[in-house]
Structure 1
Amino acid sequence: MPVVELHLIEGYGEEDKRRLGHALTDAVRFVVPAAPEGVVVMIHEMAPDAYFRGRTTKTPAPALPDPAEVVRRYLAAMEARDLDTARAMQGDGFLMQFPGTGPMTELSDLVAWAAPRYRFVTKTYDGFDAMPGAADAAVVYCYGTLSGEWLDGSAFSGIRFIDRFELVAGRITRQDVWNDMAEVRGRT
């Protein structure tokens, strides 16, 4: 039974500690074949005046937002065409790539690219997977199916998709999209 002990300066909320417990459990299970209930995570909190580094007390940094929730809010804003809200979730150097495109950096470019392809698209999500990425990045995959309307007014649904996002400091810096839209459109 793996046991993980974590010491934190007081100040993190219950949700932050729950996320830490889940993440540490998952990290252990990535290497050790243990059931979730077989991994023990103990979080010890200490008062800020009981922790010193460099002869001074420290306060905890705020927790980063849940990257999967950031991606969910971003995709909801994009679906609603609330580009200002979506843009506010992007980080420095934001880059996106969709099937058949080169890299794009502006949401207006994406809207222009989509305009001659379909009237609208909605996503039905089967899941979101979040994990640490390289350096300071978090990686989120979401997957499911696309529904919407072609330019001629006919409906489509059940088209597979997967999106991969990178987030740094809680902001989206990259989005890569794969889907079967061209494959399905070629058969209709």
Structure 2
Amino acid sequence: MSITVRPATVFADVSTVLGPKRPDASVCWCLTYRLPSKENKALTGPARGEHVAAMLAEGPPGVLAYDGEEPVGWAAVAPRSKTTFARSRTIPRVDDADVWSVWCIRVKPGHRGNGISHHLLAGAVNFARDQGASILEGYPLENMGKTINTTMAYVGTKSLFEAAGFHQVAETKSVLDGFPRVLMRLAL
């Protein structure tokens, strides 16, 4: 397995990792934390993918992991100011620093358990740094080694972020699948 991580620029590749099996399905497409709730809920079916395609035209909204030429994973990364984290009631704003956020790390079924999430997080760090970010935040789960439901593991785990050099800087009021989320930062 030869994993590379590149900025997400090809819609077909993003669709392979994030898109639905049925074109009319209303899957997340990693828009939940990127769009205000009302706008996110109003986008259904194919309109969700069309929105992602329009985002790609403005620049990469994240990074993709490839095994050879096959897209096998995704990490969303963007300035916090362009996400709902900028006004979250459950995830605190630590200070007024111009930080970037990484909030979704998804590995396709059949490719999990091979360390791809580590590659994705490293790729998100590199992408944010290349875009001029000086601080990158994540909001992973503090699962204390316990198993997490796969559908809720997309935010990553504290240990994944620690392995990438992030440090916890705050508690949050956010909980997923019974596990608290923590706010972690890495100075770039």
Q: TM-score range by the shorter chain?
A: under 0.3
- What is the TM-score of this pair, normalised by structure 1? 0.26
- What is the TM-score of this pair, normalised by structure 2? 0.26
In terms of Rg, which structure is larger?
A: 1
The structure whose residues are more often strand, as a share, is: 1
